[in-house]
Amino acid sequence: MTAISVGQAVVLGAVEGVTEFLPVSSTGHLKITEGLMSIPVDDDAVVGFSAVIQVGAIAAVLVYFRKDIARIVSAWFRGLRNREEREHHDYKFAWWVIYATIPIVVVGLAAKPLIEGPLASLWVVAGSLIVGSGVMWAADQMGRHKRGEDDTSFKDAMLVGSSQILALLFPGFSRSGATMSTALILDLDRVAATRLSFFLGIPALTGAGIYELKDALGTGAGAAPLAVGTLVSFVVAYASIAWLLKYVAKHSFNAFVVYRLVVGLALFGLLAAGVLDS
């Protein structure tokens, strides 16, 4: 393939930054954008590029939540040295994040050919956007929003972390959408559900970016576009995180549900009309 240009990298980085943590599917939006720019969505370099620029969005999370992360990591190290510190919630939470990442790593490695092959289709993205919107609407209605971040448990972390597999297998479902929906079903409030989604995404998405880096550089995605796309992703994602946390504190997820339905139906129409190649 022709290498992704710097201009295309800017566009894709902005799309990644806006959509990575909103429950609308960054993978789905990247694939749609790639399709509109006539970039083959199932090409190894494109798949690798998409994974690498996610690191920019993850870096935005690390910077935005640096105080929380420092507190949790410090508690973890203290707990490793001192048995009494192991009763601290932050120490337990650090282990929960590690354990909750294992399912998506195992499935990601085992199902890599499917994820980068048949499941990369825009038809899958369109269907997943619509189905995921229904799940999100039901979760927001079912959840009692009565539990805060300090009320999370090992069970919560494992269920929410494992739900990331849905987005891995069905691009368009949305990692954020899957994790937030699961947290809402478990009766976490919207802010707690959103923050838990952020923390659980850090190791999975960082690992994916590092894993794909070699392939991305070796199959057509140049170093300059990767650097530009990652930087743009970081800047836009930081602003997106700040906005989302303020939004969910006062609003339901209905706006995202409607948006996903509209995009999913529009994508079906574009594919059926032959405007986009699946």
| Torsion of the alpha carbons at 34, 39, 43 and 49, rounded to the nearest 10 | -60
pLDDT tens digits for range 152-211: 999 999 999 999 999 989 988 999 999 999 999 999 999 999 999 999 988 988 887 777
pTM of the predicted protein model: 0.88
pLDDT tops 60 at residue 260: yes
Structure tokens at 52: 């690498």
pLDDT at 44 over 80: no
Contacting residues for 22 by C-beta, under 8 A, at least 6 apart? 176, 240, 244, 256
Please give the mean pLDDT across all residues of the chain: 90
Specify the pLDDT at position 124.
Answer: 92
DSSP structure class, residue 2: P
Long-range contacts of the stretch 108-115 (C-beta < 8 A, 24+)? 108/168, 108/208, 111/168, 111/169, 114/169, 115/168, 115/169
User: What's the rounded Cα separation, in Å, for the pair 22 and 234?
Assistant: 14
What pLDDT score does 219 carry? 58
